[in-house]
Structure 1
Amino acid sequence: MATRPPAPGTEHGSGTGDRSAFAGVTAVPPGARLTVSASGTTIRPLATAGAPSSGPDQPADRLRAAMQGAVAEIAAGASSTGHAVAADCSGGMDSTSLAMLLAQCRTARAEDLGHAAVAVTVHPAGTTAGGDLDYARAAVDYARTGLAGLARTVEHLLCPLDDRHLPYGRIGELVPATDEPAPSTVAIARFDAELALLAGRGVGDLVTGDGGDTLLGPQPGYLPDLAATRTLHSQALLLRHALGWARLRRTAVWPLLAGARAAAARGEPGEAARTRTAMRVVARTARADAQITEQLHGITLHNPFTDASVVEAALAVPGPLRAAPGDYKPVLRQAMAGLLPETVTARRTKGDFTPDQYRGLRTHLQALTGLVDGELAARGLIDPAHYRALLTRAAAGAPGIGFHQLNPVLATEVWLRALHQRPAAARWTTTDEDPPPAGSTNSRWEVF
């Protein structure tokens, strides 16, 4: 079992721009500061995007230094609270890399922190070997035996999951009110089980690998960049990589080539710019997940792959070198040299959430269809009959229906209901008691 499914609409970017989940409310972009004063409001970026100006020379070394810095900051913050800090350790490259960096950091500060780093791995109940579990164990065993000083500072915590934790279970019961629909809504039952286990061990901070696939994972989004560079080398590289991606996808190469050349002709933004935008969406939506962990179990959630220094270190590497079709996450693998066993760095697959989603959909179909005639239908945003039929067909395994058509609707419906059902901490209200000063509104902020 995977820990959580990809965030709907976030793991591969979104076109929401500066829109928010609330009508008439504009989101402040990640990496920017909003200043409100009597003269008005201003939004300014905190840093200029671009390659790191200092630090190690090699791209892999820069990425490792940035990841180490992000994790060290989390560990330092945890040291002041006296709580333990944990990291997801699925056995995949992203989360396991962060878990081992955390263990290394905790070793360096063992006298100050006094807690072992907790590496948590979810797995099917009754399963003691195979899949993600073997890779996670290999990483922890390597840390304990292959890296000096780590033996006493890595605790491997296993979180067994059964049918009670299938996707779509307890979504109306567990999901609290958040700023926007939370990516973990569909998998809230298993997420809550992991958080409850960690809270029982005194964990106050959880590090996740969310965003790693968007930043470093395989994707052919850089092909238009190659198509736009009219050199023999670039065109040869374009053909070779397009053939590689077509082979992986078991599809024809010509649509990939035609799409890349059409995008280049239109002058669309380059892959690095689009990935940076996608990472901003990942970072923004991760806040809703963080609100869940804080409200349900008092745990602070961290996503180091969304850290500005990590993003810039990764995007300083050209797309063809960062995510080639025949080389899985090469820059991350090089960055983690010596910290992960070869068993993990040689891995070319990851846990698949899809079978669990189908089982959960079939198990909870009646409850899910009961959600259809709700807030979204009342606002005329969905056709209840059409969406109910879509759910039924998807549960039956009908082809051509993707979870991206189902999950965002369910997450938004649950979110709207949570906003109505949970008491608000604060609410924007309007009053006509006094005329507003020039240049202002007659609204006020009430705290309850």
Structure 2
Amino acid sequence: MEALRLEWADGVPKLSVTAAMARRELVTTVTSPVGTAAVVGWAGSARDRVAGARGLLDAFARPGAAPHLPDGDYAAVLVCRDRVLLLRDEQARVPLFFRASGGRVSAVGTSARHLSGGAELERRYFCRYLTGYLAQPHWELTPFSGVCRVLGGEVVELSTTGQIRGRVRRRARQASEPTAQAADDPGGAARVLRRALENAVARRLGGTTACHVSGGTDSTSVALLAARLLAAGDGPGDLVLLAGRFRTGELAGEQPYLDEAMEEIRRHAPAARLVGVEADDVSDFDDFEHHAEDADEPHAHAFRAPFWSRLHAAASGLGCDVLMTGCGADPVVDANPLYLHKLARTGQLRQMTAQARAWAQGGERGLRDVVAANVVRPTLPLATERVTAALNRRGTVLGGLGGFARPRWLRRGFARAHGYRGASLAEARFVFGRRPEESLYDAANYIAAPDPLSWRRARQDGFLLSHPFLDPEVITAVRRLPAEAMFRPGRPKAVLREAMADLLPDGVRGRTAKIPFDQLYARGLHRHGDDLIDLCRSARHPLITEMFDVETLCQAVREARLGTGDAYSWDRLNSTLALVAWLEGLGRHPLPHDVAVPVSVDS
């Protein structure tokens, strides 16, 4: 989807924005003596987007300036007197691309497809994509040759004629250093987290703010903080509490927790509107081809789009301009099991064994499983996957398939010719890195970014999803907390529960497990398994048969339908099916022609 466009005519930059996005205040433009800025999303504060855009322009327009990136969910183009800057926030919520050749940029926009101009498909990208769903946001490659991605936290500097001068990665501002007594003070870590999370929620409050509430600790915490901030008079604004309701099946077990959470939130904000979206009839893979084909790039989570689309539509109907979720809390605020890897590599084997034993007892797992997952696998990820696949395959396509190894339906020749092994190594290094206990937070962020469904629907909905737990301030604060301050055997997210102890209702605060969405996935495969197999067999795009052994892929769908495999293998299958549908839709759906509004760049 195109939100802004920058092109050059006779060597002069010409900036335009999409009229519909500007009307919904999803694109903000400001002009000052130093230049012009077009900001998609928001920088600084969701409520005051003009001030955020102006602050971004003032901070980066000075020659030689190298400021920290402001908080927010944004992509921006700054056209100054002597240069042009392209930048995105560190979390990379809003996409931004440029078309380049010979070191010169000819166009910039938020849609890779719009910039492609019928360019040849980039086969290396598809190998990268197929290594795992974390691949897209942190790789420069796009599906189209000659179209490059501005990376999260990157500032690309161009001359006024489009010549690339430099590309620099910048960090967001850092949270204040927590006290050294956080490990010894039982409440120290909780206070650090509470302060950072309150700030993150406050930055995201809009005119009408929606909070997705599921009855879990994470989403309830975000909604409670939003309710309390609004009740305390932190600016005008309305609150909408959005929930998917399941009356039957295993997900109906979430209803008592959801009711308790809603009641407590309403106690702080009596005027909050409760919107329950009936979801008993929804399943994964409903209208799959539509959700997968319309994306700008292959959308690995397109199978789950039907549920989220229903919630988005309800929030949009009420005029919400922000929708906050609890996404990201699981890895960010829970004790980090990859800390065991640090103990092992620094020679603290006795302490590592004691900690691993506590992890095993708390999670009802074997000691060997804990060490294998958090010490051995991060050290040798590809070798571990090969061994696991060899031991667990047992004649199935999905058995033993992990996050990096080549799935059997991807043709060996294609993988070898277009760098699949190198892509697997790059993905493994990103997920685990030299210090896996730190890489966990970066990987967690990219699970939620750039959220293609939220982006594709933004023009009609008027908002983008926003995730306070993945705010740079929250992540920085948690990273600086000592591991012993976060670890409570058998008590997941103990620090979050302590941080929110005065707000969370007893039932929500005391629960340690949440019912997963496996029911929606199983029901979706049962309903649509034959359609998915037909999609693969009837596909006509030549790259599909070049990449995939279609019958092996169909066998994988049948196995998943029977319950074979695990979360890793299902992710690989879902990503592949989304790619098949996306390729089929390339020539089937013409690009929309949005009304473009020129923006003056005269200083």
In structure 2, the residue corresponding to 1:393 is in which secondary structure? helix
1:98-137 equivalence runs, <5 A: 98-109=222-233, 112-113=236-237, 115=238, 117-125=239-247, 131-137=253-259
In structure 2, the residue corresponding to 1:167 is in which secondary structure? coil
Q: CA deviation at 1:17?
A: 4.3
Alignment equivalent of 2:466, drawn from 302, 310, 315: 302
Counterpart residue number, 1:273: 438
Q: Is the 8 A contact 1:228 1:264 kept in 2?
A: no
Which segment drifts farther, 44-53 or 168-177?
Answer: 44-53
Counterpart residue number, 1:239: 353
Alignment equivalent of 1:416, drawn from 583, 594, 603: 583
User: Structure 1 CA distance, aligned partners of 2:379 and 2:574?
Assistant: 34
The amino acid that maps onto 1:85 is T
Whether 1:61 and 2:223 are equivalent positions in the alignment is: no
Q: CA deviation at 1:303?
A: 1.7
Distance 1:290 1:323, change over 3 A: farther
User: Structure 2 CA distance, aligned partners of 1:160 and 1:10?
Assistant: 35
Distance 1:320 1:409, change over 3 A: farther
Q: CA deviation at 1:207?
A: 0.8
CA shift digits 1:208-227 (9 cap, x unpaired): 12222232346632211121
User: Structure 2 CA distance, aligned partners of 1:285 and 1:129?
Assistant: 27
Gaps (5+ residues) in structure 2? 1-128, 183-187, 381-431, 594-603
CA shift digits 1:287-346 (9 cap, x unpaired): x13213314533322122222111111222244543555221122112222121121121
Q: Is the 8 A contact 1:60 1:335 kept in 2?
A: yes
Q: CA deviation at 1:111?
A: 6.9
In structure 1, the residue corresponding to 2:501 is in which secondary structure? coil
1:265-414 equivalence runs, <5 A: 269-286=434-451, 288-319=452-483, 321-322=485-486, 324-373=488-537, 374=539, 375=541, 378=544, 380-398=546-564, 402-414=569-581
Q: CA deviation at 1:361?
A: 0.2
CA shift digits 1:238-293 (9 cap, x unpaired): 2233224445666542354367665798896223421233034235332x132133
Percent identity, please. 24
User: Structure 1 CA distance, aligned partners of 2:446 and 2:322?
Assistant: 22
Which segment drifts farther, 203-212 or 277-286?
Answer: 277-286
User: Structure 2 CA distance, aligned partners of 1:101 and 1:19?
Assistant: 37
Whether 1:153 and 2:271 are equivalent positions in the alignment is: yes
Distance 1:109 1:379, change over 3 A: farther
Counterpart residue number, 1:221: 338
The amino acid that maps onto 1:22 is P
Distance 1:279 1:140, change over 3 A: same
Distance 1:11 1:222, change over 3 A: farther
Distance 1:50 1:68, change over 3 A: closer
Distance 1:169 1:128, change over 3 A: closer
The amino acid that maps onto 1:69 is N
TM-score scaled by structure 1?
0.78
Alignment equivalent of 1:31, drawn from 153, 167, 181: 153
User: Structure 2 CA distance, aligned partners of 1:87 and 1:21?
Assistant: 32
Distance 1:100 1:10, change over 3 A: farther
CA shift digits 1:141-165 (9 cap, x unpaired): 22334xxxx24233222111123x1
Q: Is the 8 A contact 1:13 1:277 kept in 2?
A: no
User: Structure 1 CA distance, aligned partners of 2:443 and 2:504?
Assistant: 28
Counterpart residue number, 2:139: 18
Distance 1:154 1:29, change over 3 A: same
Which segment drifts farther, 9-18 or 359-368?
Answer: 9-18
CA RMSD of aligned residues (A): 3.6
Q: Is the 8 A contact 2:293 2:583 kept in 1?
A: no
User: Structure 2 CA distance, aligned partners of 1:103 and 1:189?
Assistant: 28
The amino acid that maps onto 1:132 is E
User: Structure 1 CA distance, aligned partners of 2:471 and 2:131?
Assistant: 16
Q: Is the 8 A contact 2:197 2:468 kept in 1?
A: yes
Q: Is the 8 A contact 2:293 2:581 kept in 1?
A: no
Counterpart residue number, 1:185: 302
Distance 1:41 1:210, change over 3 A: farther
Q: Is the 8 A contact 2:230 2:269 kept in 1?
A: no
Q: Is the 8 A contact 1:282 1:306 kept in 2?
A: no
CA shift digits 1:369-413 (9 cap, x unpaired): 122143485352221100111111221234568312321112223
Q: Is the 8 A contact 2:156 2:167 kept in 1?
A: yes
Q: Is the 8 A contact 1:222 1:320 kept in 2?
A: no
In structure 2, the residue corresponding to 1:91 is in which secondary structure? coil
The amino acid that maps onto 2:355 is H
Counterpart residue number, 2:55: none
1:137-176 equivalence runs, <5 A: 137-145=259-267, 150-163=268-281, 165-175=282-292
Q: Is the 8 A contact 1:30 1:284 kept in 2?
A: no
User: Structure 2 CA distance, aligned partners of 1:178 and 1:324?
Assistant: 41
Q: Is the 8 A contact 1:376 1:382 kept in 2?
A: no
Gaps (5+ residues) in structure 1? 1-7, 427-448
Q: CA deviation at 1:177?
A: 3.2
Q: CA deviation at 1:195?
A: 1.7
In structure 2, the residue corresponding to 1:187 is in which secondary structure? helix
User: Structure 2 CA distance, aligned partners of 1:336 and 1:224?
Assistant: 30
User: Structure 2 CA distance, aligned partners of 1:70 and 1:400?
Assistant: 34
In structure 1, the residue corresponding to 2:546 is in which secondary structure? coil
Q: Is the 8 A contact 1:123 1:159 kept in 2?
A: yes
TM-score scaled by structure 2?
0.59
